[in-house]
């Protein structure tokens, strides 16, 4: 029976595991209100609504309140987000609930993450005026990561993306810059609520130490060697607390593949 309920490593992709564990993280937020970024966070949220938390209320930054898309959207202002919403306004109405302190959780991606959960989605390199790589900019991530009561981060696990220090601090994690000097301080010191509670990669689930706020490996996905997580991380990450994550259920895979994203729009397989 066990073998029928659970999928074995090799029967799912790393991207599918990332989405499925992301959706499980949202089981704790049934009945709560969140702001979700487009891409992997949105697909994981879509799956969570089907499997774990049907009463989650989703706000989208282009001003949809309680969005209920029937098809996974391609874009942050996709027409698919409008139909079925309670309210359709614009970006101010979509984002201001964050600053009013109403948002229980935020779910976002990024290009680089550092050991304190700070994200960079602005540029890679050392010269702002002639960057090695220009990225997307602040978009909604900075505001979601600043004001949600809890933030969940998701992105693929790659050595060049998970670093000691990000090139540009776009979205505040636990240790942030206090201006005008730019001194690194705890986020509470600049008046920010919340903070990142977990980073779900394509290899495992990272959390942040209660005291030091430094990222450590909490769970590795079935089939992943925790040493491989260490090798694929750009700083010396603590794997001493790592345990194997609960296995993926076949039903989770079925709902992801057949219901949430039947056409593989998000290319998870």
Partner 1 sequence: MKKSKIISLTEAMQEVKDGDCIFMGGVVEDRRPVAAVYELIRQGKKNLILLGTSSLVEDMLVGAGCVSAYRGTYTAIGAFGISPNTKRFVEAGKIVVDDIGHVDVCMGFVAAMAGSPFIASKTTFGTDVLNPAYDNVAKIRGLARNPKTLPAKKYVLMDDPFYGTGTVQLHPALKVDVFINHVQYAGEEGTVRMDGSLVFDHFACHAARKVIITAEQVVPEEYLRRDPNRNQIPCTSVDMVVELPWGAHPGQLLNFYDMDVPFIMDYVGKSRTEEGFKQWADAWVFGAKNQEEYLNKLGASRLEKMRALPPYGYRPRTRGGAK
Please identify every residue annotated as catalytic: 61
Burial of 165 (0-12, 13-18, 19+ CB in 10 A): middle
Q: Which of 57, 88, 89, 63 is nearest to 76 (CA)?
A: 63
Residue 66's alpha-carbon distances to 36, 85, 98, 106, in angstroms, are 11, 5, 15, 14
Contact window for partner 1 (CB under 8 A) among 13-21, 67-75, 149-157, 228-236? 67-75
Contact window for partner 1 (CB under 8 A) among 12-20, 48-56, 72-80, 223-231? 72-80
Sign of torsion over alpha carbons 139, 144, 147, 153:
negative
Our finding on whether 61 is near partner 1 (CB under 8 A) is: yes
List Cβ neighbours of 20 (8 Å cut-off, separation of 6 or more): 12, 44, 47, 248, 252, 253, 256
Our finding on whether 258 is near partner 1 (CB under 8 A) is: no
Interface characters, 109-148, with partner 1 (x: CB under 8 A): -------------xx----xxxxxxxxxxxxx-xx--x--
Beta carbon of residue 131, minimum distance to partner 1 (angstroms, whole number): 6
CB contact at 8 A, 60 and 81: yes
Our finding on whether 213 is near partner 1 (CB under 8 A) is: no
Using CA atoms, how far apart are residues 186 and 85, in angstroms rounded to an integer? 37
Phi and psi at residue 154, in whole multiples of 5°?
A: -140, 135
Q: What does the block give as tokens for 111?
A: 């290009």
Q: Is the CB of 53 or the CB of 62 nearer to partner 1?
A: 62
Q: Is the CB of 61 or the CB of 252 nearer to partner 1?
A: 61
Q: Which of 176, 200, 237, 255 binds partner 1 (CB under 8 A)?
A: 176
What is the DSSP annotation of 131-188?
Answer: -SEE---STTHHHHHHHSSSEEEE----GGGEESS-SS--B--SEEEETTTTEEEEGG
Beta carbon of residue 69, minimum distance to partner 1 (angstroms, whole number): 10
Q: Which of 66, 91, 102, 249 binds partner 1 (CB under 8 A)?
A: 91
Our finding on whether 19 is near partner 1 (CB under 8 A) is: no
Beta carbon of residue 37, minimum distance to partner 1 (angstroms, whole number): 11
Q: Is the CB of 130 or the CB of 211 nearer to partner 1?
A: 130
Our finding on whether 237 is near partner 1 (CB under 8 A) is: no
Q: What does the block give as tokens for 96?
A: 């201001």
Binding site for partner 1 (CB under 8 A): 38-39, 61-64, 70-71, 74-83, 88-92, 95-96, 98-99, 122-123, 128-140, 142-143, 146, 168-172, 176-180, 182, 187, 190-192, 263, 265
């Amino acid at each position: 029976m066990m073998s029928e309920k659970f999928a074995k490593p090799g029967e799912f992709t790393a991207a599918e595991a990332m989405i499925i564990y992301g959706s499980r993280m949202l089981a704790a937020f049934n009945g709560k209100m969140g702001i979700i970024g487009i891409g992997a966070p949105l697909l994981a949220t879509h799956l969570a609504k089907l499997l774990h938390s049907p009463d989650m209320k989703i706000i989208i930054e282009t001003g949809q309140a309680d969005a209920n898309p029937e098809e996974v959207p391609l874009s942050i202002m996709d027409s698919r987000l409008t139909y079925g919403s309670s309210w359709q306004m614009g970006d101010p109405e979509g984002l201001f609930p964050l600053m009013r302190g109403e948002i229980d959780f935020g779910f976002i991606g990024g290009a680089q993450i550092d050991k304190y959960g700070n994200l960079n989605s602005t540029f890679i390199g050392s010269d702002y005026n002639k960057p090695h790589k220009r990225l997307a900019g602040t978009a909604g991530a900075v505001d979601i990561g600043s004001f949600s009561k809890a933030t969940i981060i998701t992105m693929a696990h790659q050595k060049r993306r998970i670093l000691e220090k990000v090139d540009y601090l776009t979205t505040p994690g636990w240790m942030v810059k206090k201006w005008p000097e730019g001194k690194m301080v705890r986020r509470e010191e600049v008046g920010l609520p919340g903070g990142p509670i977990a980073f779900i990669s394509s290899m495992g689930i990272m959390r942040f130490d209660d005291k030091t706020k430094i990222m450590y490996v909490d769970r590795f996905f079935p089939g992943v060697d925790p040493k491989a997580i260490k090798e694929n991380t750009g700083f010396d990450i603590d794997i001493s607390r790592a345990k194997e994550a609960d296995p993926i259920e076949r039903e989770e895979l079925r709902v992801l593949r057949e219901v949430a994203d039947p056409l593989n729009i998000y290319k998870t397989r």
